Amino acid sequence: MSSLSLRPEDWLPHRAPFLLLDEMIEIVPGERATARWTLGPDEPFFAGHFPGRPITPGVLLLESIAQCGAVAVLADSRYSRKLPLFAGVEKARFRKSVLPGDTVTLECEMLRLSARGGTGRGRALLNGVLAVQAEIMFVVVDSE
């Protein structure tokens, strides 16, 4: 693990404002990844979701879990020059609101990987407390 970059932008094609990971904490290629995302008070979506009571949209939390899982996939040499694309979500549960200034710890474990795609189980934690959980599905395509 020590030789793997912990910078999400070294793994993902996403860039601001849609790169939803600040740092990788752990990467086990093809198996799992853990990341952090700190939500600043001036995130553009807070202005409209909701005025006077800003809450991180659930779909962005699901996307951040998927981005964390994508790093685990892309760190596996079998998927170099590939791009995992979000294909579905099941069993999503939102248990705690994520607010401006919160730091979310994201975890995603691969349940199944094949040449064409796979599934993962992920969660977002706020101070160790479960905020979001879901199973994600993805397809793998050529990135070039």
Assess whether 49 carries a catalytic annotation: yes
Q: What is the pLDDT of residues 74-101, one digit of tens each?
A: 999 999 899 999 999 999 999 999 999 9
d(CA 100, CA 91): 26
Q: Given a cut of 60, is residue 65 above it in pLDDT?
A: yes
Contact of 99 with 59, CB cutoff 8 Å: no
Q: Kindly report whether the peptide bond that precedes residue 17 is cis, defined as omega within 30 degrees of 0.
A: yes
Complete domains list, the chain, with CATH? 8-142 (3.10.129.10)
Q: What is the dihedral of CA 132, 99, 5, 70, to 10 degrees?
A: 40
- Give the global pTM: 0.96
Return d(Cα 72, Cα 34) in angstroms, integer: 9
pLDDT at 1 over 50: no
In the structure encoding, which two tokens stand for residue 82, read together?
A: 């590939």
pLDDT for 22 equals 98
Say which of 6, 19, 43, 49 is annotated catalytic.
49
Residue type, 15: R
Q: Where are the alpha helices (DSSP H) in the chain?
A: 58-74
